[in-house]
A and B are shown apart, each in its own frame.
Chain A
């Protein structure tokens, strides 16, 4: 951004200044009222605020409504396979510390078909910003039960109501070793959404953001209920947590102070059946990062490679 350097007499002018329009591409084809639109706006705002160079920014997704996301960002994008956004994003980041890599995934993509990769991506703790769009239903394939559909959800695969309790992505993520950042926000709270995504991006490590998401098309009643339900939502606040403005904080009826260093309390909140907690559950800035390992030996010269080859041929020489 334009601004003054520490020397107030020198104006810092970057070679390019980006407006939000520089990150916008096409018209998003999500349903009217879909929560995905608000995340798109928040992310574009974040890119502008952080002045992320579009050519140095990559959005990797899987398959599903959420995974259309990269098509609407004027950055590099990778709209890959169902459930496989994590391995691709990890491969992108492994040798490219200079790239800002985001993963956009949904409840089916991340928690069902891609669940194995999700668990391991937490452990790898690479510097990725992960946005889990959790709308509790399969949208793109027209209303099938998702792993996060509440028990009893009527869907095309469970016309008499789903029969299993849902998976709890925050609880599971907090249970994986080397977890480093877990937060929850909601698509209909733009101030909180933006603050959360920003904090996630700023975290140097695997930042997992579960976004409670409305599907107005297939679960309209639930969508309405979620937005209006202040009784079952609590804002997590802390001086080390995610800072939100007063207006946003005032939207919550319940607020608790939660130290994001306290994993036990974080787990306890995640397991509360009566309450959804929004904010930062947990953050560990010291967890080992696999992307640092990936970048540690970048830039070997041809001479170094030739030397290693000759040494190896010496070993096999007869």
Chain B
């Protein structure tokens, strides 16, 4: 079937057509599960990265395991944002959508992923389907999409693929990859190399067929599409790796020299252990899948106690279960790395969606005073780096260290400079030398709260770890001054660690009308919004915090250079203008709560619990309405 004349311009001479130069674009491929949309998208991202373009990809995951096909629930796919320069987030509405059926876009429309002008390239096979209902759906969808202002292009994907392969369902994705390569003027040789890489474990025949499909899509687009783009690369020249945040965490674990990862399956944290389990053993490490979340951290603590610091990985509900052991780790001063890949909450919440709602739970979620160090990577590269850092802090300060990431980092894929691992990153061998005579197991240095820990095997260091309050000899004590002293020493470690931190870098001017404070995965979107706002002449800057406990220094000083300070976070806050909320009752976003208490600055917040990455445009609108209330 030929594309319909109303929507495409068939027969135009591709050679004559000019390409529109763009600086960034967002593409979505949406399909039913199992049609390979994600593989096509990841391959396209890799090709773009290789050509020196910035890339951010994120998978669109169906909410059920086996939803019926051709339903909104079964929508699976991928969003690929590409740019001339570095791309730091998934962006706003899509520019191009490739839809394998007409139902899939509906679920994305519900998520406000598209806008008028979005081009939908729709598989046209459904127009002639045997089932009348399918044909009607298809026609209705095109009408709906046009009503919403989308440009619809019917593309005979199936028909074209069948010219090359007997089963189009298993080849369509590579044909679409070819189409995208033509659309964005990709180097077809680099694309072919990518296919050879993707299918390197398959037979030559499989590789050849996929190469033909790639070329088929490439040629078809060249002959039939009346819009083509050029995306000049500005990056490149360095070795890059491309992965998601959970994969980066898993490689960070290996690079830190940690040898035990103790976990219990929980979305969205688990995939870290999947990748780790594949390669950890060869690097001398093991993943322990415990019987439950509590056992997972208990096992990690036992392992840390008798050897190198261990890591446990979890998400909200698991964090809740680990509470008591976290308290023990603080009390017993156990080096331990706890990674929390946050998801929507409370309770089971929205397991696959994005939220940053565990900050307060991590900081204050344990009964009693439990000071601990908390890091929040803001990029995928930092997911890798911060595990290495966390292990060192845990050991140097004899304390649990948290790493807070979220679903956005866990599933987002971004290229970054290939790390150059060094032996110095690895945990040193377990100290088995005789314990220094006369040295107590909690011989706190008053200046920093640090004490040396005896490890089983060290002769002369025998003592009993206890969750009961204890003195420097490790002996149980309920004496008032002893409890005061041990609490002070555990807290002093944070004060000492804080001294090692530098003030955070401000993005933009160090003074102005508005400062946006963010943490975690929102960094890219916030900085992009700041760029756009500054281009409009708004005096806005942003600062991104990577250390949540203790904070980086001089925040209060920085905040006073701005007329207004707000946080931008993906967690709940009462709307500022809510008629039901008295100002003293207003519940703030989580970082805002802590910053207000810490700095006594009247910090506001922009937050929501939509379960989605924060979009640059939504932050931009918030910036506009705060700085130009009359126009809002």
A, B bound: yes
Interface residues, chain A, with chain B CB atoms under 8 Å away: 53-56, 58-60, 70-71, 73-81, 84, 86-96, 98-99, 116-117, 119-120, 293-294, 297-302, 304-306, 308-313, 316-318
List the one stretch of B103-111, B296-304, B395-403 in contact with chain A. Answer: B296-304
Question: In the complex, A229 Cα to B465 Cα: how many Å?
Answer: 39
Q: How far is the CB of A170 from chain B (nearest CB, A)?
A: 21
B466 contact set on A, CB distance < 8 A: 71, 79
Partner of A88, one of B254, B298, B468: B298
Inter-chain contact B423/A318, CB cutoff 8 Å:
no
Partner of B49, one of A70, A95, A309, A318: A318
A73 contact set on B, CB distance < 8 A: 464
Known: A94-B260, A302-B426. A77 touches B421 (CB 8 A): no
Known: A75-B462, A95-B303. A308 touches B288 (CB 8 A): no
Shortest 7 CB-CB contacts between residues of A and residues of B: A300-B284, A91-B302, A87-B298, A77-B464, A88-B302, A91-B299, A91-B303
Extra A-B contacts (7), CB below 8 Å, given A59-B464, A302-B426 = A76-B454, A79-B464, A80-B298, A94-B286, A312-B251, A317-B239, A318-B50
Q: Does B152 contact A (CB under 8 A)?
A: no
B419 contact set on A, CB distance < 8 A: 309, 313
Inter-chain contact B241/A309, CB cutoff 8 Å:
no
Partner of A116, one of B46, B259, B292, B460: B292
Residue of A60, A75, A318 ringed by the most chain B CB atoms within 10 A: A318
Inter-chain contact B465/A311, CB cutoff 8 Å:
no
Q: Does B318 contact A (CB under 8 A)?
A: no
Inter-chain contact B303/A94, CB cutoff 8 Å:
yes
A86 contact set on B, CB distance < 8 A: 295, 298
Closest-by-CB residue of A relative to B422 is A306
Question: In the complex, A99 Cα to B463 Cα: how many Å?
Answer: 15
Q: Across the A-B interface, how many residue pairs have beta carbons closer than 8 Å?
A: 192
Q: Does B458 contact A (CB under 8 A)?
A: yes
Question: In the complex, A87 Cα to B300 Cα: how many Å?
Answer: 8
Q: How far is the CB of B237 from chain A (nearest CB, A)?
A: 13
Residue of B281, B299, B456 ringed by the most chain A CB atoms within 10 A: B456
Question: In the complex, A198 Cα to B299 Cα: how many Å?
Answer: 26
Interface residues, chain B, with chain A CB atoms under 8 Å away: 46, 49-50, 239-243, 247, 251, 254-255, 257, 259-260, 262, 279, 281-286, 288, 290-292, 294-307, 310, 324-325, 328, 415, 418-419, 421, 423, 426, 454, 456-468, 476
Closest-by-CB residue of A relative to B280 is A308
B461 contact set on A, CB distance < 8 A: 55, 76
Known: A76-B462, A80-B465, A318-B50. A308 touches B254 (CB 8 A): yes
B423 contact set on A, CB distance < 8 A: 302, 306
Q: How far is the CB of B197 from chain A (nearest CB, A)?
A: 9
Question: In the complex, A310 Cα to B241 Cα: how many Å?
Answer: 11
Partner of B260, one of A76, A84, A95, A301: A95
Partner of A78, one of B286, B294, B300, B464: B464
Inter-chain contact A55/B459, CB cutoff 8 Å:
yes
Question: In the complex, A306 Cα to B243 Cα: how many Å?
Answer: 19
Question: In the complex, A254 Cα to B161 Cα: how many Å?
Answer: 83
Inter-chain contact B298/A76, CB cutoff 8 Å:
no
Closest-by-CB residue of A relative to B461 is A55
Inter-chain contact B284/A79, CB cutoff 8 Å:
no
Inter-chain contact A96/B307, CB cutoff 8 Å:
yes
Inter-chain contact B476/A316, CB cutoff 8 Å:
no
Inter-chain contact A81/B295, CB cutoff 8 Å:
no
Inter-chain contact A311/B302, CB cutoff 8 Å:
no
Q: How far is the CB of B292 from chain A (nearest CB, A)?
A: 6
Question: In the complex, A300 Cα to B251 Cα: how many Å?
Answer: 16
Inter-chain contact A300/B288, CB cutoff 8 Å:
no
Inter-chain contact A305/B426, CB cutoff 8 Å:
yes
Inter-chain contact B456/A96, CB cutoff 8 Å:
yes
Known: A90-B302, A91-B303, A304-B282. A84 touches B254 (CB 8 A): no
Closest-by-CB residue of A relative to B288 is A94
Question: In the complex, A10 Cα to B290 Cα: how many Å?
Answer: 49
Inter-chain contact B305/A88, CB cutoff 8 Å:
yes
Question: In the complex, A78 Cα to B464 Cα: how many Å?
Answer: 5
Inter-chain contact B456/A317, CB cutoff 8 Å:
no
Known: A78-B302, A305-B284. A87 touches B260 (CB 8 A): no
Partner of A77, one of B241, B294, B306, B465: B465
Question: In the complex, A80 Cα to B300 Cα: how many Å?
Answer: 13
Residue of B301, B302, B303, B467 ringed by the most chain A CB atoms within 10 A: B302
Inter-chain contact B462/A305, CB cutoff 8 Å:
no
Inter-chain contact A310/B292, CB cutoff 8 Å:
no
Inter-chain contact A91/B456, CB cutoff 8 Å:
no
Inter-chain contact A98/B457, CB cutoff 8 Å:
yes
Inter-chain contact B284/A309, CB cutoff 8 Å:
no
Inter-chain contact B418/A317, CB cutoff 8 Å:
yes
Partner of A92, one of B292, B303, B328, B464: B303
Q: How far is the CB of A156 from chain B (nearest CB, A)?
A: 23
Q: How far is the CB of A178 from chain B (nearest CB, A)?
A: 13
Inter-chain contact B457/A55, CB cutoff 8 Å:
yes
Known: A71-B476, A305-B257. A56 touches B298 (CB 8 A): no
Partner of B241, one of A74, A297, A313: A313
Known: A80-B328, A309-B255. A96 touches B457 (CB 8 A): yes
Question: In the complex, A308 Cα to B431 Cα: how many Å?
Answer: 25
B298 contact set on A, CB distance < 8 A: 80-81, 84, 86-88, 91, 117
Question: In the complex, A70 Cα to B301 Cα: how many Å?
Answer: 17
Inter-chain contact B306/A58, CB cutoff 8 Å:
yes
B462 contact set on A, CB distance < 8 A: 54-55, 74-77
Question: In the complex, A120 Cα to B291 Cα: how many Å?
Answer: 7
Q: How far is the CB of A76 from chain B (nearest CB, A)?
A: 4
Partner of B284, one of A87, A120, A299: A299
Inter-chain contact B421/A306, CB cutoff 8 Å:
yes
